[in-house]
Amino acid sequence: MKTGSWRGGNKVELLENGEQFFPRAFEAMREAKEEILVETFIVDDDEVGRELQRTLIDAAARGVRATLTMDGYGCGQLAPEFIKPMVDAGVRVHLFDPKPTFLGWRTNIFRRLHRKLVVVDGRRAFVGGINFSATQLCQTTDDDGRQDYAVEVTGPMVRDVQVVAHEAVGDRPPPERRIAVAGTTRALFVTRDNDRHQNDIETHYRIAIRAARESIIIANAYFFPGYRLIRDLCTAAERGVQVQLVMQGNPDMPIVRWLTTILYEDLRRSGIEIHEYTQYPLHAKVAVIDDEWATVGSSNLDPLSLFLNLEANVVVRDRDFATRLGRHLQRLIERDCEPARIDTRKPRLWRQLLSAVAFHVARRFPRLAGWVPGRRITTAQPALPDAG
């Protein structure tokens, strides 16, 4: 089966934050009979991470083939004592691009498995931006939540997610079998890597933006796209499309907001509305166009996601799904956002120069870093303490 193709006959459900995502994902894993595949950027040693640990151990004990692949940077400080019980139980645990620390600092900062995937028995898949961490529980944490989304998919598209998750650990995917039609939604599983799919996610965004007739809403945690995507958004706004961007107003990394604000004045000048989400740090990577096209996934619109990380999004062509997501984002704008604050005073020369340098460094350095020393990344089993 060729991945990266549109599949009909799917059912796609939107999940908001950990409160909706974790119960559904853990329920699916507990019902697994053959196989669980999990890919994630972060697993924290907290109540959520420990539930994932227990769920995978229990699955392996009943004969399910369970595989957990974690990013070597995002999980680089996870203690071996957390991992070892899973390995001892028969869970296959892999670290993506593991690197030794230098003076206590993680050194693999520019090569990341940023995808968040769960596949169960080749029949249910979860794709989105939600890590296995209690910080993704907005309603039950103290000012430390992350506003984010995922989708649960049943239907033919699940096979594409399964194939990609197997390839990440060097496995041959199981033989293809017929997956029953689950709904009426056309969906596409689209990935970004450093080999055959370097620009796929950005390309799908740009095609949809250029075709927009009425409205574009993009909610993105780290928004710093290339010139071509910015130009497409500005052109859409100038031809009368209502373009709304939802950015971080309460950022987990203040430098990210500062970089994004470099773009604000030019975007606003083209007629683009910029809203800053202020209730929690925004971790979303979603978009809706014309209430017909939508995407949910792991890919930010920034240099790391567009030029270096391994990412995965689901693109949906379904009016019901797109309308629901669009209405949700409009409520978010009305209830939890403020208009972006733009300093209209003419910057001093030093600030203009600093902004120009920051723009080009942020845009180009991660892409250059991806080529040194090489583009291919390995997935390895983590080092564990000796038994005894």
**48, 220 contact by CB (below 8 A):** no
Catalytic residue among 11, 166, 197, 283: 283
Catalytic residue among 11, 166, 275, 285: 285
Catalytic residue among 45, 121, 144, 252: 121
Catalytic residue among 114, 166, 197, 275: 114
Give the dihedral sign, CA 140/141/146/150: negative
Active site residue 285: yes
Torsion of CA 141, 27, 160, 130, to 10 degrees: 0
Active site residue 143: no
Active site residue 266: no
Q: In terms of Cα–Cα distance, which of 118, 116, 117, 186 is closest to 155?
A: 186
Terminal CA-to-CA distance of the chain, rounded, Å? 46
Give the dihedral sign, CA 56/150/155/169: negative
Q: In sequence order, what are the residues at sequence separation of 6 or more whose Cβ sits closer than 8 angstroms to the Cβ of residue 96?
A: 69, 70, 71, 72, 112, 113, 168, 310, 377, 379
Active site residue 114: yes
Catalytic residue among 46, 144, 252, 290: 290
Q: Buried b / exposed e across 251-274, counting CB within 10 Å, b at 16+?
A: beeeebbebbbebbeebbeeebbb
**313, 127 contact by CB (below 8 A):** yes
Q: Tell me the sheet residues that pair with 286.
A: 219, 296
Amino acid at 140: T
Active site residue 116: yes
Catalytic residue among 116, 166, 197, 275: 116
Residues assigned a catalytic role? 114, 116, 121, 283, 285, 290
